[in-house]
Structure formats: C-alpha cells, structure tokens
Amino acid sequence: MKNFLLTVVGPTAIGKTALGIKLANHYNTEIISADSRQFFKEMKIGTAVPTKEELESAKHHFIQNKSIFEEYSVGHFEREGLEKITELFQDFQHLVMVGGSGLYVDAIIDGLDYFPDVAKNIREELNQRLESEGIEVLQKQLKELDPVSFDQISIENPHRLIRALEICIGAEHPFSYYKNKPKGKRDFTPIKIGLTADREIIYDRINRRVDIMVHEGLIEEAKNVYKHKELNALQTVGYRELFAHFDGDISLEFAIEEIKKNTRRFAKRQLTWFRKDKNILWFDYQTPFSEIIEKVEEFKNK
C-alpha cells in the first residue's frame, strides 16, 4: 500500500493552515509543519502560528518545538522530519505537510544536497568581515569564486551568502558543485497542492494579517526578544523592522509599513520558488474543498 504525503504550499497569508486542517480531518491524519519560522516558541505572534483552536482540530508536529537559543537548521529538520514521518506512516496512509518555506519542503520531499565539512574558523572570519567590511565585499568574493552560486542564491541573505562562501573557501570544489547531486529515495508519494490568488488579493491579505499581529501583541513580543536580536532565528521579517524601531532608527508607523512591504516581497519570492515546480497542483485560494479532494484522488489513482 502506498503512503501519500499531501503537501500544501503557497505564499504567506493565503490560507495554507486552514486547508491543511481540512485535509487532515478528511483523511483522519496528522500535520507536519514545514514553516521554518514557526519552530520557535518565543515567536508566536510574528510567525502566525496556528491558533489554539486550529492546533486542537488536527494534531500538528514541529510547531513551537524549539527555542531561538537552539541551533536549528534545515538539515536538522530533514532528519527529525523524516523520522517523525516514518513513525506516523506506521499508523496512517496519508500525512499532511504544510509550509511556505520552500527549502524545508524540498528537504523532506527531495532531500538536501550534501556538503563536506569545513573548518569552523572560516565562518567566524567571514562573519567578522561581514561586520567590518559590509555585505557587498562578500558578494563580490562569491561572484569571483562561484559565479553560478552568485546568480542562484539570495545574496542579500548574509546567512546563505556566508554558507556558500565557506564551502568555496574550505572545500575542494565551489558551493555550486555540490548542488543537485542524486539524493536518497523516499518511501512515500508526494502530492503537492499549491494555493494562490491575484497579487492584489495576496497583498491585501498580508496587510490585514500584519495589522492583526500588531493588535494581538507583536510589538510586545518583539520587545521580549530584542536583547537577543543577533540570533539567527530572529533575522526575519516582522522582527528586524521592530528592532530598527527600538534602536531609534525608524518610527513605529514606518516599521509597521516596512513589515508589510517586506512580507509582500517575501510572498513574491515564495511564489517564484514554488512556480518552478511543475508537479504542484495549483488552486485558487477560494476553490471548493471538494474540488481539491477530487483532484488529489485523481492524482493518487494515476
């Protein structure tokens, strides 16, 4: 008997959580969260963690199960996620995975690329250079050492930039050499379900969600973690902007507008990532649930 991993993807604020719960209830199963921001228990409001009622209506895994003080990467998630999935498939034929973090979804479904270990001091030196010389210097170095990666990764993200550079410097080959090698097979069939809408609708839903977060206490939540603002988990939209406000660099009103703007940009990047995947079954966010189930069953019977 085949095992099926029903995976709901799409931009932030589109309704992935609600659909994931409907699917879990329909197939009488449980949910794996693949949202890299919802792992951390100190970041409840700013990451739009499912409500108490939503969490009670279907069992979720990997929601607020870590602390911002723990080192937790996509590699950790791949290992722990696959262990949990293997365990759950002993009891269920279907599982549901929900997440807007494309890399984390891909890690479970396709597996991660293997990279050799490199000396820890390389990353430390790169972080020091980032602090003293700025990100543009490191971007230029990556372009010289690995122009393929320079064109493919998010070079504005210092974490990913430094990760690529440390491999280029400390390994036998550049970062791009190790990408997209054959990976291990999975013992399940993935069915990817994408939710989308017109851009104006997505942006409006994002703007309204940010207003709700602020109303529910986002500013206070950000204040509670402000003294730890250098932690990797907090280098994310919704917190960075408020930290800049607490530093006295921008007004609160401007910070909130920046959160909305940067979340809209994030949603655009999510859609760009997922639209590269030709195996996703796309639906408008208002598509009747019965129609989605019909397409899922058709896919299963192919």
Q: Give the CATH number, domain containing residue 127.
A: 1.10.20.140
- How many domains does one find in the chain? 2
Q: Is 128 within 8 Å of 165 (Cβ atoms)?
A: no
| Per-residue confidence (pLDDT) for residue 243, from 0 to 100 | 98
Q: DSSP class of residue 50?
A: P
Same domain, 202 and 278: yes
How far, rounded to the nearest angstrom, does the alpha carbon of residue 49 sit from its chain's CA centroid? Answer: 13
Same domain, 217 and 263: yes
| Per-residue confidence (pLDDT) for residue 157, from 0 to 100 | 86
293 pLDDT higher than 80:
yes
183 pLDDT higher than 80:
no
Structural domain boundaries, residue 220: 4-112+183-300
Please report, for residues 66, 72, 156, the alpha-carbon distance to residue 234 in angstroms, rounded to integers and kept in the order given. Answer: 13, 12, 16
Same domain, 90 and 209: yes
Same domain, 216 and 273: yes
- How far is Cα 132 from Cα 127, in angstroms, rounded to an integer? 9
Same domain, 171 and 271: no
Same domain, 49 and 142: no
- What are the backbone angles phi and psi of residue 139, rounded to the nearest 5°? -60, -45
Same domain, 81 and 125: no
Q: What percent of the chain has pLDDT over 90?
A: 89
**How far apart are the two ends of the chain, measured CA to CA in Å?**
14
Dihedral angle computed from the Cα positions of residues 144, 148, 149 and 151, in that order, rounded to the nearest 10 degrees: 100
Q: pLDDT by residue (tens digit) across 199-242?
A: 999 999 999 999 999 999 999 999 999 999 999 899 999 999 99
Q: Which alpha helices (H) appear in the chain, and where do they start and end?
A: 16-26, 52-57, 74-88, 102-109, 120-133, 135-145, 147-152, 158-170, 199-216, 218-225, 240-246, 252-275, 289-300
Same domain, 48 and 69: yes
| Per-residue confidence (pLDDT) for residue 133, from 0 to 100 | 95
| Per-residue confidence (pLDDT) for residue 69, from 0 to 100 | 96
- How far is Cα 62 from Cα 221, in angstroms, rounded to an integer? 20
- What are the backbone angles phi and psi of residue 171, rounded to the nearest 5°? -110, 175
Instruction: Select the more confidently predicted residue: 109 or 153.
Output: 109
Q: Give the CATH number, domain containing residue 187.
A: 3.40.50.300
Indicate the pLDDT class of residue 113, thresholds 50, 70 and 90.
confident
Greatest extent of the chain over all pairs of C-alpha atoms, in Å: 59
Strand partners, 96: 6, 31
| Per-residue confidence (pLDDT) for residue 159, from 0 to 100 | 86
How far, rounded to the nearest angstrom, does the alpha carbon of residue 262 sit from its chain's CA centroid? Answer: 15
Same domain, 49 and 168: no
Same domain, 98 and 136: no
Mean pLDDT of the chain: 95
Same domain, 225 and 187: yes
- Could you tell me the strand order of the sheet in which 31-33 lies? 60-61, 31-33, 94-98, 4-9, 189-196, 280-284
Write down which residue in 140, 159, 178 finishes a domain. 178
Please report, for residues 126, 128, 136, 240, the alpha-carbon distance to residue 133 in angstroms, rounded to integers and kept in the order given. Answer: 10, 8, 8, 21
| Per-residue confidence (pLDDT) for residue 194, from 0 to 100 | 98
Among 103-117, 144-158, 231-245, name the most confident range.
Answer: 231-245
192 pLDDT higher than 90:
yes
184 pLDDT higher than 90:
no
Same domain, 60 and 11: yes
